[in-house]
Amino acid sequence: MGLLENLYDKSPIFFQNIMVTLSGYQRNKTRYGKVYYDYLDFLSEFDKWSLKEKLDFQREELVKFIQYTVNNSKFYRNLYKDVDIESIRTIDDLKQLPIVEKEMLRENINDVITIPYRGAIEGHTGGTTGKSLVVLFTPEDMMKRMAILDHFKARVGFVHRKMKRATFNGKHIIPPNQKKEVFWRYNASCKQMIYSSFHLTEKNMKYYIESLNKFKPHAIDGFFMSMCDIAGYIERHNIKLEFTPVAIFPTSETLTKSGRELLERVFNCKVYDQYASSEGAPFVTECKNQVLHMELGSGVFEHVKADSDEILVTSFTTHGTPLIRYRIGDSMVFGTENSSCHCGINAPVIKEIHGRKLDFLYTSDGAKINGGNIANLFKNMPNALIRAQTIQDKMGEIVIKLEVDKKLYKPEYDNLLKDEFIHKFGLNTKITIEHVPEIPREKSGKFRMIKNNVS
């Protein structure tokens, strides 16, 4: 344990709030400088451009980024030694370049990076689907990424740092020996109340809601399943909310239709989805009509191959650790050329974001059922269900762990759920239901609805 962490853990809560705020002000220096404000102004104008103008800009940025990468990254220079880089002039030309896997970056990271560690901003990929990867961002890239994120929120009415936000994330802000039921800390540097995702138990939920009612945030963001946990508790116990947010912005976890409906029903506001990644992928954001659009100024999305939804990303805000045709492990369904939206943002439409490649379960004959369809199997369950997790260790067998409200849950609900799964997976799949006191979260603080351990 470091000195600061030890001091934090032993300090009273009011002083911990001060330390969280000071940390926030320190972080703000690398996020909200001149580049941030200039890029916000640019994005406001960029929204008004025609699709052709945006695509031309994307192409120009791609050429510049590839040239920068080849000039500054030993790894990419060696990787492209047999490619005529001058011939890469369009998005289609990208196919001439090899696909980059995560393991390739990890094994060669010192040759990949283009900037020294000193002065760089570190990003860490999540560890739920494999080993983590540390990437470096330039301060300019980080400011542009924050501008894209804040511009997306401003489009639907939330102005970051001027309005209050409640955030559910995986930061370890609660000391292990804390006795008080105060599972949040305040970051005054951006009017943010940070709520711990690690303490969201049925016993503690009421304290979270009391805090939210007192704080009255204008927006709620963070882990999707944590927010759904809160909304489910509010609905089950018919608790009155004393505030109405402008919007809800889920992050880090794949959005489900049933979860979106729950959040919008309980908080009486719209949910706006987004896609990026901790290693620096380009952005996809929802407009005011809740339609997903590529942020063309942030990079390029491709499919790995024509008959696959798995994506490759090339990101223009990764000058420290360049990502070009990077196989990130996520899947998206691109809209057709006829797909359109009347929001006024001229950008290609994304029909669906499927999330991580292990966010699915197998049927006994090897077909994949994705996370959205798995979530739908629980939609007819009564409010007595608090949380559920599906685990598959081998083909033909699925274990469903249930955390339930024992006062409301009836034995026949198990049969209802089992019947739903049998209709989806067939009689050849063994379905086992286990009732557990609590389903633990990952080390990151995220909750995983699907754990696919089939190799």
Q: Give, in order, the Cα–Cα distances in Å from 174 to each of 5, 181, 185, 197.
A: 11, 10, 8, 10
| pLDDT tens per residue across span 39-68 | 999 999 999 999 999 999 999 999 999 999
* Residue 1 counted as domain residue: no
| pLDDT tens per residue across span 156-170 | 999 999 999 999 988
Counting runs of H as helices and runs of E as strands, what totals does the chain give?
Answer: 13, 21
Q: What is the pLDDT of residue 130?
A: 39
Q: Do 178 and 161 have their domain in common?
A: yes
What is the mean predicted confidence (pLDDT) over 6-17?
94
Q: Do 327 and 386 have their domain in common?
A: no
Q: Do 80 and 222 have their domain in common?
A: yes
| pLDDT tens per residue across span 174-184 | 988 899 999 99
Q: Do 259 and 385 have their domain in common?
A: no
What distance in Å separates the CA atoms of residue 42 and residue 26, rounded to the nearest whole number? 25
User: What element of type H or E holds 14?
Assistant: helix 13-28
- What is the pTM for the complete model shown? 0.83
What distance in Å separates the CA atoms of residue 141 and residue 22, rounded to the nearest whole number? 23
Q: Do 381 and 338 have their domain in common?
A: no
> In 3-state terms, what secondary structure has residue 111?
helix
Domain boundary among 310, 326, 355: 355
Query: To which residue do tokens 């006191």 refer?
Result: 437
* Residue 412 counted as domain residue: yes
* Residue 129 pLDDT class (50, 70, 90 cuts): very low
Rounded-to-10 torsion of CA 39, 45, 48, 54? -50
Q: Do 258 and 397 have their domain in common?
A: no
| pLDDT tens per residue across span 388-398 | 899 999 999 99
What distance in Å separates the CA atoms of residue 326 and residue 313, rounded to the nearest whole number? 5
* Residue 357 pLDDT class (50, 70, 90 cuts): low
Lowest mean pLDDT among 44-53, 96-105, 380-389: 380-389
* Residue 88 counted as domain residue: yes
Q: What is the pLDDT of residue 131?
A: 47
Q: What is the CATH number of the domain that holds 271?
A: 3.40.50.12780
Q: Give the structural domain span for 33.
A: 7-355
Q: Do 304 and 370 have their domain in common?
A: no
Nearest CA to 140 out of 69, 38, 241 is that of 38
Q: What angle do CA 401, 402, 403 make, to 5 degrees?
A: 130
Number of domains forming the structure of the chain: 2
Q: What is the CATH number of the domain that holds 383?
A: 3.30.300.30
**Structure-model confidence comparison of residues 71 and 406, the more confident one:** 71
Q: What is the pLDDT of residue 448?
A: 83
Q: Do 345 and 421 have their domain in common?
A: no
Domain boundary among 334, 355, 376: 355
Q: What is the pLDDT of residue 389?
A: 92
Sheet holding 450-452, edge to edge: 430-435, 397-404, 385-394, 450-452
What distance in Å separates the CA atoms of residue 362 and residue 375, rounded to the nearest whole number? 15
pLDDT of 128 > 50? The answer is no
